[in-house]
Amino acid sequence: MEQLISYQLVLNKSQADYLAASKYGVNRMQALVSLLDLVKTADEEYTMKGFSTPLKAGQFVASEVELSHLWKCDRKTVSRLLDQMNQLGLISTVQNNRTSVHTVYCIKFWRFENRTVYNKF
């Protein structure tokens, strides 16, 4: 049985207006929701092919190539969307030589299994 997760989003008017619009054939709100599905709700270590990095609750790892497959668009569109989300303060992205670590700022907390986890970011 799939676990039900609830979260509270905090958006300012500029962020909400941006997410409500659609450009490049990608629904921005659906893109954000797909990112929220990737966010870790507990601290953990990300390891892949000899590379590892710590992730805190509120972060996730995804490359532009992975997101282009998820959103069914080209990598340039993904890059543009991530840049705009970064500029608006919805997320921040730090790239390294293997992948990108994204931090989500617009989630206040998650609720699941009768507990609440607050976003440290």
Helix H or strand E segment including 28:
helix 28-38
pLDDT of the chain along its 121 residues, tens only?
567 889 899 999 999 999 998 876 789 999 999 999 999 988 999 988 888 889 999 999 999 999 999 999 999 999 999 999 999 999 999 987 778 999 999 999 999 888 999 999 9
In the prediction, which pLDDT does 38 show? Answer: 94
For the sheet containing 59-61, what is the strand order? 59-61, 100-104, 91-95
Sort 106 into a burial class: Cβ within 10 Å, 0-12 / 13-18 / 19+: buried
In the prediction, which pLDDT does 113 show? Answer: 86
pTM of the complete model: 0.88
Helix H or strand E segment including 26:
strand 26-27
Would you report the helix, strand and coil content of the chain in percent, each value rounded to 5?
Answer: 35, 35, 30
Go through the domains of the chain in sequence order and give each one's CATH number. Answer: 6-118 (1.10.10.10)
